[in-house]
Chain A
Amino acid sequence: MLKKHPIVTFIFFGFILFLISNRLDELRVYQGATVAIYAIGVASLILLIGYSGQVSLGHGALLAIGGYAAALARIYYEAPIWLTFVVAVLAAAIGGALLGLAAARLSGPYLAGTTLALAIGLPSIANQFPILGGEQGIIFDIGLPPTSLGEDFTQYKWFFWISWTVALITLYWLRNVLNSRYGRGWRAVRSNDVAAELAGLHVGRNKVLAFTISAGLAGLAGALLAMTINLASPGVFPLALSFSLATGAVLSGVTTLGGIMIGSVTLVAIPEIALAIANRYGSETITTNLPGLLVSALLILTVLFVPNGPVEQMHAKRAKKGHSSHSPVEISVRVGHKTWSTKK
């Protein structure tokens, strides 16, 4: 159904979420909003890592740019909510473009290390400019839900609706982009950039574009995150956030959007599960250490045994048996006696 009528699927999913939001208690609604935000953040990394083959360990910094931009737009220009999100996307996209330009010549660990350094250095940047509110940050208040929704419509439910509407639209859009020639272009460059260049793709531009779009998405997630916390501050975008998103991307399967819910839900569910376990044993040490332990163990196991994510794994199993639902772009180039091929 998704392939044939993607819009219908998304709307259907949205409708289900709408129904759920009325039945859940506030804590779950709040967590549900967080899942949506993670979904967008993880999607941005899937684009960057899975499709374009570039690693960012500091995506939290791009979320921060989006969050701060949205907050500033709200405070100084009293921008309506949708406009703050647009500002967030643009600001983060510009940041991503700059980063992408610098990073186009880097690969693998260099890129990873540089983005890591950025994420760690972010708080001190925030401290240098008083307008960014320093350690305490600046308030991002999107206001109360409209009165037309009723007296009992809580703020958290409002966050949930906004986050999921944005998430669904974004994921739908991203899915289309990834299935378009841009997506194919990224995959080609990732598999073999020499062959791609020979085939006429401009590698540098390709990579920067991926970074820019990924950053824009990250900025959007950052604005939504700041919305739910009511605050944009360095503490809202810690290093752990960058790591969480990378984890979510790997758990979902970096190469495809299909499993995105798996990663996003896991990120939110793990602390809950850990809390439940810890409560049963009633030990302080377990409560503090278990979430980190579970996430890290899950991450390592996934990378070791299901490295391409559960979705790809199933595709691979099927492909082995002779079924195939898509034909990847293959480019083979022969120069003299050497052959480069994108087929792996």
Chain B
Amino acid sequence: MIRINRRKLITTSAVLAIAALTVATVPAQALNPSMGSDPGVTASTIKLGITSPLTGIASPGYSKIPGAMKAYFDYVNTNGGVNGRKITLVSKDDQYIPTTAVAKANELILRDKVFALVGTLGTASTKALTASTQLSKRGIPSLFVNTGWSGFADKKAYPTTFSILPSYQMEAKIMAKYVKETYAGKKIALIYQDDDFGRDALAGFKTAGLTFTTTIGYASGSQALPATGAGWISKLKAAGTDVTVFFGVTSAATAALANAYGAGYKTQWVLSSVSGDATAVAAANPAYVPLLFGAKGFSFAPAPTDTTDEYIKLFQGIYAAAQPKLTFDNNVVAGMSNAFLVVQALKAAGPNLTRKGLISAIETKGSTFANPFLTPLGYSTTSHSGANGYWVGTFGPTGMLTPDGGKYTVYSTDSGTGPVELSTYKRPAMPAKGL
């Protein structure tokens, strides 16, 4: 009979702790970043990693992105890969929670030993994992992050991170110019999410000189309360608003549209690219998609329904073969465009593939990469900024956004105080077979 006493118990606890920590570990020395070739690259493979919300509150729509990227990578692999190497994508779910994103990024870097991270989603998550996993100290590239926060374009702060989306300030400035010119003299209201995301846009509206007769901020998350959407509409009605600009998340936009419909209130909606995500609306409740009809929306890639566009045709073909059951929409275009750009970058880095080489390839040649976007890319040795413009379109009854005037009129600007100008960019032709 074992005499259990306190001492033994504490010792047992200690042993348990030690055992738990050492169980199933490969006893290894501390990480040696400077020796040997970069992890994730062999003579025949390249391993990339992505962490994004596959489940959870932000997942409708965005959950399609990793699958879309993989579809394009597989297409490239069947056509010989990049410089003879085939690409594998390891995808993790962070549920849009920053601490989970950090944990998953750690797994990708330390356990899966990926060559680079691609397409991480969400400002808070990206910020957290970049800082915590010390991407810059380890020299790990974080390519084409899926967020519009302008800070990631700052090379000094984020030397190994590259943006791809236009920043929220850029978007706000372009929206402002459009609204000022098209709806001059009308009463214009703004509904925005009261956090960094929405306040970034506020700064952009201010820079572009757009003033609102009514400004409504909402606490992130409060759109889930029953009274919130109705409260917005009541305020808009009382102010006699003609045009309502919306800069928030899709669930909030859905609440606004639904409540406007319920109150029989008509206004011209001008939705930002994040709010006007028809796929997310459809994923939440398909019955609400028709509410988008007539609203104005913004995008910088070709419309998913535009079969005259060579990139769209190519992507549609690839995706239909890879995921025949899923619909081809703006998120698929986003994912495949991201993957396309990754492949261009890997190609430019040459057969002797290193992390440093990849980063400098993007910096020196990135602005000339072939890509599906309708705006130029801003990569240079001083900036890691990606696309910088938007075109305006109108939502159809099925939620598809088509450009006003039948053609893409793109306006571009910067994240600072520069003017918004009509873009004269001509997109270079797609490389043969889209490779």
Contacts and interface: CB of A to CB of B under 8 A. Distances in A.
Contacts of A20: 18, 21-22
A74 B59 CA distance: 35
Contacts of B27: 23-25
A314 to B, nearest CB: 6
Contact of B17 (A1, A22, A35): A35
A240 B95 CA distance: 13
B194 interface: yes
Contact of B7 (A3, A259, A276, A288): A3
A220 B236 CA distance: 46
A91 to B, nearest CB: 21
B31 A154 contact: yes
B227 interface: no
A133 interface: yes
A173 B99 CA distance: 29
A231 interface: yes
Please tell me the size bucket of the interface on A.
35 or more
Contacts of A238: 97, 99
A314 B21 contact: no
Contacts of B25: 24-25, 28
B285 interface: no
Given A3-B6, A135-B195, A228-B132, A123 B22 contact: no
A22 B132 CA distance: 21
Contacts of A141: 131
B78 interface: no
Interface stretch (B106-114, B174-182, B389-397, B416-424): B106-114
Contacts of B10: 1-2, 9, 258
Given A133-B196, A231-B98, A233-B98, A1 B11 contact: yes
A26 B110 contact: yes
Given A136-B124, A136-B149, A258-B9, A13 B14 contact: yes
B352 interface: no
B251 to A, nearest CB: 15
Interface in B1-37: 4-7, 9-11, 13-14, 16-18, 20-22, 24-32
Interface residues of B, number: 55
B398 interface: no
Contact of A22 (B13, B24, B30, B149): B30
Interface in A211-234: 228-231, 233
Given A25-B26, A137-B124, A155 B134 contact: yes
A206 interface: no
A259 B18 contact: no
A32 interface: yes
15 contacts: A16-B14, A24-B22, A28-B25, A124-B220, A124-B221, A155-B134, A229-B128, A233-B127, A235-B99, A238-B97, A238-B99, A260-B13, A265-B20, A311-B9, A325-B5
Interface of A: 1-3, 9, 13, 16, 20, 22-28, 30-32, 35, 123-124, 127, 130, 133-137, 139, 141, 152-155, 157, 228-231, 233, 235-236, 238, 240-241, 258-262, 264-265, 269, 271, 276, 284, 287-288, 311, 314, 318, 325
Interface of B: 4-7, 9-11, 13-14, 16-18, 20-22, 24-32, 54-55, 93, 97-99, 102-103, 106-107, 110-111, 123-125, 127-128, 131-132, 134, 137, 149, 194-197, 199, 219-222
